[in-house]
Amino acid sequence: MNSLEEYYNNYDEEGRLLSKHGQVEYLTTMKYIKECLEGISEPNILEVGAGTEPINAIQGNALDLSMFEDDTFDMTMLLGPM
């Protein structure tokens, strides 16, 4: 396990999101996600640095997403790691 994995294994991200500030962040984020994906029935989303939901994780570099073909995703998000 590397130091980044150790950090996130010891950080309560879900607990943070349940706080009042976290709830405001969540509601605001969801509002804009829904606006951006309006009309797309089954969106394909890449979340760089995701870690709290059921996900298909791929280890890589946020500065180089060339492993994915152009137009693979309807939305790309980077919410926390930077």
* pLDDT per residue as tens digits for the range 28-45: 999 999 999 999 999 999
Q: Angle at Cα 76 formed by Cα 8 and Cα 64, nearest 5°?
A: 75
The whole-chain average pLDDT of the chain stands at 86
Beta strand 75-77 with 45-47 is parallel
User: Which pLDDT score, from 0 to 100, does residue 56 have?
Assistant: 81
Rounded CA gap, 7 and 11, in Å? 6
Element (H, E) at 75: strand 75-77
> Is the whole-model pTM more than 0.85?
no
Instruction: Please check whether residue 37 is in contact with residue 30, taking contact to mean a CB–CB distance below 8 angstroms.
Output: no
User: Which pLDDT score, from 0 to 100, does residue 61 have?
Assistant: 86
Task: Give SS3 for 25.
Answer: helix
Bridge-partner residues for 64, per DSSP?
A: 61
Q: Domain residues of the chain, as ranges? A: 3-77
pLDDT higher at 17 or 45:
45
Residue whose token pair is 């509601």: 27
